[in-house]
Structure 1
Amino acid sequence: MNTMDRRKFLVAALCGAGAGLALAPLAASALPLDAGAAGRLAGEMNDDVERAQVVIVNGRPRRRRWVCWWRRGRRVCGWRWV
């Protein structure tokens, strides 16, 4: 099997995204609406929307530290978030 390099992958991804954007209006217009959604007014649509709540999973504050690490056989130093 041939390996795919970055350039071929990027071209394939962009072509796929372009085709998806070109076909999106056709697919969206083909989707039927149910009878309840088609008969509602814009003011009544707000009943379907729920309020979002922010949840902080890890409340630990982050700080920057000066650290050194190895990259490609060389030592590199710089600021890192810890």
Structure 2
Amino acid sequence: IPQAAIEKAESAYPVIEPLKKAIPTERFAIAFFQNHPNYRDKCFAALGIAEPSKIIDGIDLMAADFNLNKTPRTFSESRQDWE
């Protein structure tokens, strides 16, 4: 894709700058979710998530993009992996 085309598209529909601004917020949100198991429980219950471990697996993939550690799982979150 020619650079001119990318610049034209970026001027009409900004993508790069909003992403740069969102990164600190997303990193904070991921870290908060990882470090607050009671909050995770409330979210999973409110959304009716049957297998939270699958959601946490996805969170951990995003966390890796931000050089964050994997989520420390509660007993109930890890127990689902055994079933």
TM-score (norm 2): 0.30
Greater helix share, 1 or 2? 2
Greater strand share, 1 or 2? 1
More relative contact order, 1 or 2 (CA 8 Å, 6+ apart) = 2
